[in-house]
Amino acid sequence: MTKKRVAVIFGGRSGEHQVSLNSAASVIEALDKDKYEIVPVAITPEGKWFAGVEPAQMLAGQDPEQLGQRVALLADPTYGGLAPVEDGSVRVEQLRPIDVAFPVLHGTFGEDGTVQGLLELANIPYVGGGVMASAVGMDKVMMKTVFAQHGLPQVRFCHFLRRDWELNPGAVLDLVEQLGYPVFVKPANLGSSVGISRARNRDELQQAIELAASYDRKIIAEEFADAREIEVSVLGNDNPMASLPGEIIPLNEFYDYEAKYVEGKSRLVVPAQLPAETMLELQRLAIRAFKALDCAGLARVDFFLRRDNGAVLINEINTIPGFTRTSMYPRMWEATGIPYQELLDRLIDLALERHREKNRSRTTFQPPVAAG
């Protein structure tokens, strides 16, 4: 059996660079070496691409420029692969074709449709959502607007631009305060809870907005919900399925970056202890959210479960969730009956299936011939 050449792309220019390295290390370790020829592709924080660099090496602080070969992904459907870059020139004659790409890039410049667009231009199958689903899923304002259009229940929110804040801070404060205190303030286009604050009064709100505005030009504010934090994994293309839910129990004030990535700062309960009808409702809404954004391959959908009345509210969707063996996305599938390595196989198969389906569509238009 001919092995499929899988390019695992990781690192990147976002604030979640380190998280990506951890996820990619787990993916590369678990991929079946009898089925796949694995090509690790590291993207540095400056945006340079290197083939042959392992994420574990970068985690150890080694310089990818000293370890691998500088490469470029050719956005040309004729080639569809990686070519070496030498002395500033791309060596097309040394092209290495790719059968499928596996982006393990969290946050901006990777999870937001940018890399997906490059892979589309190169006509390379890839794991995960397309350009539109990735871009909308990354932008919390657009995501919540689409969810609202589809009638999905969620907390109240408002948004504004950094320029609005700089020109008229009083109007912005008045707008946000309509949500009541406490209120959460977030950069619209960032993951892993980076730049998120909980504000209890006007002074804290000003500080929270300043922090969020240092990360993004668009800021979102959301009303507080006294709720349990529940997550559901989704897998599939046009006919997706949902995993058993899991619960995050943060030991910090809320599920911030430290609670997510520092051991002992949160507890993960998989599967979550919930009534059967609540589990079914969470799974149903997770699939609706996945379809609302026209996602593909995988996504993790995060929910609030109100403590007072048990209402389910959708918080957000992550189109490239954390992917270490202990991350919630694979852990929920493990609890549902799909082990880690099989999950990777399914994701690669789904990427190839979606690519075949897309290539069934016409790419040119033949105008009708006028009669007479």
pLDDT band at 201 (very low <50, low <70, confident <90, very high): very high
pLDDT band at 365 (very low <50, low <70, confident <90, very high): low
Task: Answer whether the bond into residue 182 is a cis peptide, omega within 30°.
Answer: yes
Span 153-181, pLDDT tens digits: 999 999 999 999 999 999 999 999 999 99
From 131-145, 335-349, 356-370, the region with the lowest mean pLDDT: 356-370
Cα separation, 4 vs 344, in Å, equals 13
SS3 177: helix
The answer to whether residue 261 scores a pLDDT higher than 50 is: no
Q: Which residue has tokens 């609302």? A: 292
Residue 318's identity, in one-letter code, is N
Cα separation, 203 vs 208, in Å, equals 9
What is the average pLDDT across 85-106?
Answer: 92
Amino acid 139: pLDDT: 95
Cα separation, 145 vs 154, in Å, equals 10
Mean pLDDT over all residues of the chain? 92
Q: Which residue has tokens 């040309």? A: 76
In the chain, % of residues over pLDDT 90: 82
Amino acid 191: pLDDT: 62
Amino acid 254: pLDDT: 54
Q: For strand 36-43 and strand 49-51, is the pairing parallel, antiparallel, or unpaired?
A: antiparallel
Cα separation, 39 vs 33, in Å, equals 11
Amino acid 190: pLDDT: 75
Cα separation, 71 vs 68, in Å, equals 9
Which helix or strand (DSSP H or E) is residue 1 part of? Answer: none
From 108-112, 129-133, 338-342, the region with the lowest mean pLDDT: 108-112
The answer to whether residue 306 scores a pLDDT higher than 70 is: yes
The answer to whether residue 28 scores a pLDDT higher than 50 is: yes
Cα separation, 305 vs 275, in Å, equals 12
Helices (H), the chain: 17-30, 55-59, 64-67, 114-121, 131-138, 140-149, 162-167, 169-177, 202-213, 257-261, 276-292, 328-336, 340-358
- 297 phi, psi to nearest 5 deg: 80, -80
Determine how many CB atoms are found less than 10 A away from the CB of residue 308: 8
What is the average pLDDT across 107-121?
Answer: 94
The answer to whether residue 303 scores a pLDDT higher than 80 is: yes
Q: Determine contact, residues 289/314, Cβ cutoff 8 Å.
A: yes
What is the average pLDDT across 234-258?
Answer: 83
The answer to whether residue 1 scores a pLDDT higher than 90 is: no
The answer to whether residue 242 scores a pLDDT higher than 80 is: yes
From 80-94, 197-211, 315-329, the region with the lowest mean pLDDT: 80-94
* More confidently predicted of 192 and 348: 348
For 369, residues 6+ apart whose C-beta sits below 8 A from its C-beta are none
Residue 27's identity, in one-letter code, is V
